[in-house]
Structure 1
Amino acid sequence: MTTSEDERKKVERAMHYRGGCWMGGIRNEIKSLPMSELFIIGTHNSATYDISVTSSFGSDAPGLLGKKTMGGKLTQLFARPVCAKWAKCQSLTIREQLNNGVRYLDIRVIPKSEKNTTPYISHSQVSVPLRDVVNEIVSFLACSENTWECLVVDLQHLSIPEGMLMDSFLFPALEPLRDLCIPNTVSLSTPLEEIWRRSKKERVFLVIGSEFDSEKYTFAFMRHGAIVSDWKNVQNCNDLLQRFDEDLAHPVTHQSGVFCVTQGVLTPEGKQIMDSLLFTKGISTKFNSIMDMARKVNAPICKWFWKRNRHRNEDNTCGNMHRNILMLDYPQITSLTIEVDDGGSSIECSPVIMCILLNLLK
C-alpha cells in the first residue's frame, strides 16, 4: 500500500467516527501516546450552557456587574438583556459535549451567592451547579462503550467564599469523581495503554487551579506544573494566529509531560459589548455574540491548527506546544475544509474529526 493509499484509508476511518467513543476506536494507534501528546478538542467555559437573560450575575462579573451595591444593581438591570450572549460560550450540556468527542473541559467555579455557598459554574453569570457537571462526567464514563475514553477536567478558576476552606467548599462536590480520577502520583507522560492497563475505571485527569493538599487529595493534580495554557487576549483572528506562529518561531523553554492548551478563542472588545447594550442589533461590524464570534473564527483557527500539525516535522524544540488541546467556543457549529494530501484532495469535517485524523496520521 502506498503512502497516499494509506492516508486515504485513515481519512475514511476518521470520517467514520461521530464522537462518543473515538479514543476506543483508534486505541491501537494512540496507545503509545500520553494524553499530553494526543490531539483533542476542548471547550471554553464548558458548563455555561445554562446561562440565559434571567441568570443572576456572579461574583466573577467585571466591575459593577459583580457588585451588590445600588450602582451594581442598576448596572445589572441595564446590562441584563444582552450580557448572556457574551457570557454563554457553549450550548450543549457536558454529556452532549463528551458524546460529540470533546475531551477537555474548562470549568470555572464560584459560590452561587453570598448566602448560598454551593459551588456553581459561572462566567460573569451563574450557570449550573458543579455537582451537575460531575454527575454528567460520571454518567458518560459509566457507559461500557466509553471504557477507553480519557478526559482532562480543568478547574482553572476558583472563587472560594471568605472564611471557607477548599476542603469544605470544593471537594464534597467532586467526591463522585474520586474513583474515576487518575492519581497525581502518575506521570502525565504515561502512555495511554498503561493508563488503561492500571485501572478499568480511572479515566479523568482532574486539574485544580488553587492550592490544596495534594497528599490528602491524591485524585487531583495541581494546575501549576500540569497545564500550559496561554490566554492571548486579542480581538482579531489574524492577530491570534500570528501570536501562535510566534510561539512556534521563538519557543521558550518548554516543560515536557504537561498538557498544552491552544486557546482558540478571541476576547470581545468592550466597545462590541457596549454596542450590543445600546442597540438591539449592535453597530459593530465584527461580532454580536460569542456564538457569532465562534461561527466566524473557529474554521480559520482549526485550519491553522491542521496545517501546522499535519506537516510539522519531528523536531521537538517546541515540545507539544500547539499540538495537544485546541480549546474552542461552540465547536459543534463548525465545519471546515482541510487538504489531506499534497495533490489538493480535501474533506469537510468537524474539529473533532480533524483531531482524530491528526492522531491517525502521527
Structure 2
Amino acid sequence: MDVSDTQPGKCGKDWMSQLPRHLQTVPLNKLAIPGSHNSFSYSLDPLSQVAPDQPREIQAVVHMFGAPGRDVIHRWSVTQTLTVEQQLNSGIRYFDIRISRHTGSGKVCFIHGLHGADVIPCLEDMKKFLSNHPKEIVILDFNHLYEMEAGHHASLLQAITEIFGNKICPFLNMECLSLEMLWESELQVIILYHNEAVSENPFFWSGSFIKSPYTNSTDISHLLSFLDKHKKENDDPERFFCWQGILTPCAQTIISHFSGSLKDVLASKLAPFFVTWVKNGKSINCKHGIFIMDFVEMADFISCVIDLNY
C-alpha cells in the first residue's frame, strides 16, 4: 500500500524538501515529524523463537503450546503492515527500533515478541531511499537492545557507519540542527542509540536526547489525558520529544480477545481519536515533535502530522 499522495500538494516521499522557507531554518525538533511504533514489526516471523523482550512466563507458555502460542504472540506483536520502503514513501521519518542478537544465527534482528528481519538489509534499503531523496532526513531510534555485549554493539555500530557513511549527522547542538544546515552538509541520518557503547562515538546520539513518555494502558480516554498532561514538556530546546499514540494490551485483553489482534482490538479503535488529538494540536499550541502510532496508514495519520507544519 502506498499512501504517499494522501495529502494534495505535499508528497510524502519528499515532504521535507517542500516545507516553507521559514521552516527550513528552525531546529529539527520544532517540526512535526510522523513516525511509526515498533517500525519493523511487519517482518516478525510467526515461526521464530520467542524474543527476549518477553517475560519468562510468556516464553514458558509458548514452549508448552508451540505454534499456536507463537501465532497468538504474532497477532498481538505486529504493529505495522507497511514495509520500511512503504513507510518512507508515505512520509514516515522517525523509526522506533528494537533489536536483539539471535542466539542461533548470531545476526542482529528486529524483535517485538518474536524475531523479525535481519537489521542490515533493511538499513541498506533505507539508504537507497535517502540517496534518491537527498533532502529527506530520518531519525533512527535504537531504544531496546537485547542479548548484546560490548563486541556486538561495536560490530553493529561499525556496520551502520559503513552503510550510511557521510550521511550520518554527528552530535550537534540542537539549535544548529535545521534542515538548511543538514542539506548544506549533505547529512540525512540522525541515530539515537540507547547504550553507553556510543558514549565516545561522535556520530551517534545518546538516548538521553529524546523524551518519549509512555503510559501502559488499553483505555483511549486515559491515553489522551496522559498526552494532555505532557503538552508543556515538548518545548525542551535540547531534546526531541515523542508523542506516543499507543495502546498496550495486557494479559486480560489478549485472553478476552484470544482470536483477535492488536490491530483489530486496540489500534484501529484508537487511530481516529489520536489523529483528532493531533489535529487539535494546532489550536492548543501543541504542534511539533515526533508523533507515532501503530499501523500508520490508518486515519490519514501521516498527512495530518505533516500538515501541523503548515
Same fold (TM over 0.5): yes
Match of 2:128 in 1: 139
3-state DSSP of counterpart to 1:116:
coil
3-state DSSP of counterpart to 2:256:
helix
Partners of 2:229 and 2:32 in 1: CA distance: 20
Equivalent of 2:292 in 321, 327, 338:
327
Distance 1:140 1:322, change over 3 A: same
Match of 1:223 in 2: 207
Partners of 1:89 and 1:133 in 2: CA distance: 17
Long gaps (5+) in structure 2: 1-5
- How far the C-alpha of 1:189 sits from its partner, in A, is 2.4
3-state DSSP of counterpart to 2:230:
helix
Distance 1:118 1:276, change over 3 A: same
* Contact 1:43–1:106, Cα closer than 8 Å, also in 2: yes
| Alignment RMSD | 2.3
* Contact 2:141–2:193, Cα closer than 8 Å, also in 1: yes
Distance 1:85 1:18, change over 3 A: farther
Matched, 1:303 2:276: yes
Matched, 1:359 2:285: no
- What do residues 240-296 of structure 1 show as CA deviations (whole Å, max 9, x unaligned)? 001111223xx469632311000110011211212344xxx4xxxxxx322222211
Distance 1:182 1:27, change over 3 A: farther
* Contact 1:131–1:174, Cα closer than 8 Å, also in 2: no
One-letter amino acid of the counterpart of residue 117, structure 1: G
Correspondence 1:254-265 to 2 at 5 A: 255-265=236-246
**Could you say which structure has the larger radius of gyration?**
1
- How far the C-alpha of 1:77 sits from its partner, in A, is 4.1
Stretch of structure 1 that moved more, 290-299 or 36-45: 290-299
Matched, 1:38 2:31: yes
3-state DSSP of counterpart to 1:45:
coil
3-state DSSP of counterpart to 2:191:
strand
3-state DSSP of counterpart to 1:193:
helix
Partners of 1:26 and 1:162 in 2: CA distance: 42
Partners of 1:126 and 1:170 in 2: CA distance: 20
* Structure ranking higher in helix proportion: 2
Aligned length: 303
* Contact 2:287–2:309, Cα closer than 8 Å, also in 1: no
Partners of 2:29 and 2:73 in 1: CA distance: 35
Correspondence 1:157-306 to 2 at 5 A: 157-161=144-148, 164-184=151-171, 186-190=172-176, 191-197=178-184, 199-200=185-186, 202-215=187-200, 217-224=201-208, 226-248=209-231, 251=232, 255-277=236-258, 281=259, 288-292=260-264, 293-306=266-279
Distance 1:58 1:174, change over 3 A: farther
* Contact 1:181–1:206, Cα closer than 8 Å, also in 2: yes
Match of 2:97 in 1: 107
Partners of 2:288 and 2:11 in 1: CA distance: 21
Match of 2:84 in 1: 94
- How far the C-alpha of 1:17 sits from its partner, in A, is 2.5
Distance 1:168 1:72, change over 3 A: same
Distance 1:169 1:76, change over 3 A: farther
Partners of 2:235 and 2:307 in 1: CA distance: 25
* Contact 1:62–1:124, Cα closer than 8 Å, also in 2: no
One-letter amino acid of the counterpart of residue 272, structure 2: A
Distance 1:274 1:218, change over 3 A: same
* Contact 2:40–2:84, Cα closer than 8 Å, also in 1: yes
Equivalent of 1:85 in 75, 85, 88:
75
One-letter amino acid of the counterpart of residue 38, structure 1: L
Q: TM-score scaled by structure 1?
A: 0.77
Partners of 1:17 and 1:253 in 2: CA distance: 25
Partners of 2:27 and 2:233 in 1: CA distance: 22
Long gaps (5+) in structure 1: 1-12, 282-287, 314-320, 336-349
Stretch of structure 1 that moved more, 267-276 or 131-140: 267-276
Distance 1:16 1:204, change over 3 A: same
Distance 1:161 1:153, change over 3 A: closer
